[in-house]
């Protein structure tokens, strides 16, 4: 176990130490009224510190964890921060970060120093910057990967962190990596999404490289990412990413933040012109003093040989065909949560984090497991952990230890594995308690015996902005205000049929508007129908198309869109986790500042 007191006295990198000292000084000046709100907000967001709806000096600190890789001392530091500076737990995000809420602004610099002591930073985790570089959590252990993208994601992080190019962009910029067409890294809805592919050469050999997708995004107006070119060589990858960033920085909308993301350049200049400008910028980057071309040193050092066969990608970690009837707890967990690499025989296992939340005991327990078993741990983009580098004879003991810290639920990515943003718990923009609905769906599915249905992903956002990625889920919800009997009430729009994979993306289609209190019953009906009617191995999207699509399925839920008299059922007018009548409260958006 790490010695927090000893770590806190170790000298930090001078650049990092100066940055944190400057933050501490400016935070005190802001609290004293000596710095303008707008100026301090930009400064604070670039440091990865985000305001909460509770106002005052309550802050959320978002820790960047490139491609989700964490070490034991970092897990233990998270436990310490949760206990001493936050509210007793941390929250995993869909971009493989961890967040801590209710950090007091006058103590935030202490948290930054603690993070720096274990090699982590919140720098550029928020604001108009290059955000955390995400990547497939099975990179280096995937049965189907073409390249291990871990080192490439790390090299990309190194290139842009604290880079002068990235400090005042038109808007946030997101980069994701996937090692194969399965696209577990979700490249297809990012500003730059990188997927490892290969091409045949004239001499009969195969060259591994990448296909780069650009200008994707979710939010209130989702856009699919589009291919930049058929093949980008390993030597050209980082110049290509930098060229994309430079073109967008030069031409992005700096007057209207709502239309400032890279996806809007496709609308304003067209994809052909955007490609032309990126290729021209990449060509001229050779003359830059900081040209990032060639194989990055990090890739040379770590290597990028694949664990997989590079062929026949199919979804991993939760197949529609999984069946648990009659299995022991361990057998069910092994069937649903264990993934094996084809080429190098790697064994990986998922650890389930309910709602993406982690207690100090769970964080310390994971750290102990990681040390004792000598394994690697990564955060997934569905708010779980995956433990990699296991052997088959370690699985029984691992399962027992995960049971002890309540992280051994079989099927970490089955229907029970609901993804949710923080919602109105802490976010200024949210209009509903998305976490409360996620917990209620978990309960309803379990009571209906449907919690372990495979092939169904459920995502919830507390507003239209898709932090919970509702657009790309089989069943997605976003929060909205409803009115009935002269009163406001919490509600949701249900979407069906979203999915991403095979270098394609489909956004969910509207199915039904629902009161918050009946949304769980709607999920039970849809998941139940899918489980009963699907053909062998049939994915949710295929079943949905075969049965008439989102609108048709939505008609079977029409009776659930009803608000009873508030005197008879007051719970319909109170959001999950609240005690008083629902009130739509939306604060100033730091997402667009």
Average pLDDT for residues 162-184, to the nearest whole number? 95
Per-residue pLDDT tens digits for 225-236? 999 999 999 999
- Phi/psi for 399 (5° steps) reads -60, -45
Q: Where are the domain boundaries for CATH 3.30.413.10 in the chain?
A: 139-302, 419-573
Is the torsion defined by CA of 395, 399, 400, 402 positive or negative? positive
- CA–CA gap between residue 105 and residue 88 (Å, rounded): 17
Report the alpha-carbon angle 151-153-157, nearest 5: 115
Please state which architecture CATH assigns to domain 4-117. 2-Layer Sandwich (3.30)
pLDDT in tens, 451-482: 989 889 999 999 999 999 999 999 999 999 99
Residue 325: pLDDT band (50, 70, 90) is: low
**Predicted pLDDT at 319:** 44
CB atoms within 10 A of CB 62: 25
Place of tokens 């790390």: 154
Model pLDDT, residue 340: 83
Closest CA to 244 of 183, 156, 184: 156
Tens digit of each residue's pLDDT (9 = 90 or more) over 337-390: 998 866 567 899 999 999 999 999 999 999 999 999 999 999 999 999 999 999
> What is the structure's pLDDT at 7?
82
Report the mean per-residue pLDDT for the chain: 93
* Comparison of pLDDT for 9 and 441, the residue scoring more: 441
The pLDDT value given to residue 309: 59
Q: Give the H/E segment covering residue 483.
A: strand 475-484
Over residues 187-204, mean pLDDT:
96
Find, among 236, 226, 224, 219, the residue nearest to 279 by Cα. Answer: 236
pLDDT tens string 253-299: 999 999 999 999 999 999 999 999 999 999 999 999 999 999 999 99
Q: Rounded to two decimals, what is the model's pTM?
A: 0.94
Reported confidence tier of residue 310, pLDDT bands at 50, 70, 90? low
pLDDT band at 316 (very low <50, low <70, confident <90, very high): very low
Residue of higher predicted confidence among 85 and 321: 85
DSSP state of 181: T
Give the pLDDT confidence of 19-77 residue by residue, as tens digits: 999 999 999 999 999 999 999 999 999 999 999 988 889 999 999 999 999 999 999 99
**Residue-wise pLDDT tens digits, 99-151:** 999 999 999 999 999 999 999 999 999 999 999 999 999 999 888 899 999 99
Q: How far is CA 420 from the centre of its chain?
A: 10
What is the dotted CATH code of the domain comprising 329-404? 3.30.1370
Lowest mean pLDDT among 239-253, 415-429, 516-530: 415-429
CA distance 268 to 239: 24
Average pLDDT in the 536-553 region?
A: 96
Strands of 49-51's sheet in order across: 49-51, 58-63, 98-104, 90-92, 357-358
- Note the pLDDT tens digit of each residue in 473-531: 999 999 999 999 999 999 999 999 999 999 999 999 999 999 999 999 999 999 999 99
For domain 139-302, the CATH superfamily is: Sulfite Reductase Hemoprotein, domain 1 (3.30.413.10)
Contacts of 348 (CB under 8 A, 6+ apart): 138, 141, 338, 339, 340, 341, 386, 387, 388, 389, 390
Confidence of residue 314 (pLDDT cuts 50, 70, 90): very low
For residue 99 the two structure tokens come to: 């967040």
* Residue 204: partners with Cβ closer than 8 Å, 6 or more residues away: none
Contact (Cβ atoms closer than 8 angstroms) between residue 543 and residue 534: yes
| Backbone φ/ψ region at 4: left (φ over 0), alpha (ψ -120 to 50), beta | alpha
Domain spanning 419-573 has what CATH number? 3.30.413.10
Give residue 456's pLDDT.
95
Residue ranges, CATH 3.30.70, the chain: 4-117
């Amino acid at each position: 176990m790490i010695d927090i007191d000893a770590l806190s006295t170790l000298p930090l990198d001078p650049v990092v130490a100066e940055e944190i000292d400057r933050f501490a000084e400016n935070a005190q000046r802001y609290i004293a009224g000596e710095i303008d709100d707008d100026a301090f907000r930009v400064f604070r967001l670039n440091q990865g510190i985000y305001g909460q709806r509770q106002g005052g000096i309550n802050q959320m600190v978002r820790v960047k964890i490139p491609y989700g890789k964490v070490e034991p001392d970092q897990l233990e530091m998270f436990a310490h921060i949760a206990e001493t500076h936050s509210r007793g737990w941390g929250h995993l995000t869909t971009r493989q970060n961890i967040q801590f809420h209710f950090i007091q602004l006058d103590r935030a610099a202490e948290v930054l120093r603690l993070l720096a002591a274990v090699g982590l930073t919140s720098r550029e985790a928020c604001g108009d910057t290059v955000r955390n570089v995400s990547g497939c959590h099975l990179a280096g252990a995937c049965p189907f990967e073409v390249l291990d993208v871990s080192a490439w994601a790390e090299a990309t992080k190194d290139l842009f962190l604290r880079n002068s190019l990235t400090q005042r962009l038109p808007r946030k910029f997101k980069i994701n990596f996937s090692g194969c067409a399965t696209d577990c890294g979700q490249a297809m809805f990012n500003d730059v999404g990188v997927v490892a592919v290969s091409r045949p050469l004239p001499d009969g050999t195969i060259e591994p490289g990448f296909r780069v997708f650009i200008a994707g995004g979710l939010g209130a107006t989702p856009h699919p990412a589009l291919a930049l070119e058929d093949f980008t060589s390993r030597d050209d990858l980082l110049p290509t990413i930098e060229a994309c960033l430079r073109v967008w920085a030069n031409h992005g909308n700096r007057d209207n933040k709502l239309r400032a993301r890279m996806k809007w350049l496709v609308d304003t200049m067209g994809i052909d012109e955007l490609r032309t400008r990126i290729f021209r910028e990449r060509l001229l980057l050779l003359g830059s003093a900081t040209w990032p071309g060639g194989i990055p040193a990090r890739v040379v050092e770590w290597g990028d040989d694949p664990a997989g066969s590079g062929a026949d990608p199919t979804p991993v970690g939760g197949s529609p065909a999984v069946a648990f009837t009659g299995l022991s707890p361990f057998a069910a967990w092994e069937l649903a949560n264990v993934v094996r690499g084809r080429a190098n025989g790697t064994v990986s296992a998922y650890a389930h984090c309910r709602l993406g939340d982690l207690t100090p005991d769970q964080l310390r327990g994971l750290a102990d497991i990681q040390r004792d078993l000598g394994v690697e741990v990564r955060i997934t983009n569905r708010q779980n952990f995956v433990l990699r580098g296991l052997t088959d004879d370690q699985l029984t003991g691992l399962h027992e230890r995960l049971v002890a810290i309540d992280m051994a639920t079989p099927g970490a990515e089955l229907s029970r594995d609901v993804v949710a943003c923080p919602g109105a718990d802490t976010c200024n923009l949210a209009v509903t308690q998305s976490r409360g609905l996620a917990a209620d769906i978990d309960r309803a599915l379990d009571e209906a015996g449907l919690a372990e249905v495979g092939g169904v992903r459920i995502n919830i956002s507390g507003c239209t902005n898709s932090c919970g990625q509702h657009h790309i889920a089989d069943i997605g919800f976003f929060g909205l205000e409803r009115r009935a009997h002269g009163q406001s009430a919490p509600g949701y729009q249900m979407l069906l049929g979203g999915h991403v994979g095979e270098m394609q993306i489909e956004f969910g289609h509207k199915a039904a508007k629902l009161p918050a209190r009946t949304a769980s019953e709607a999920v039970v009906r849809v998941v139940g129908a899918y489980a009963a009617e699907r053909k062998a191995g049939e994915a949710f999207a295929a079943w949905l198309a075969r049965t008439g699509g989102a609108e048709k399925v939505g008609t079977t839920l029409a009776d659930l869109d009803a608000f009873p008299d508030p005197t008879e059922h007051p719970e319909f007018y109170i959001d999950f986790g609240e005690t008083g009548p629902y009130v739509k409260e939306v604060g100033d958006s730091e997402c667009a500042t």
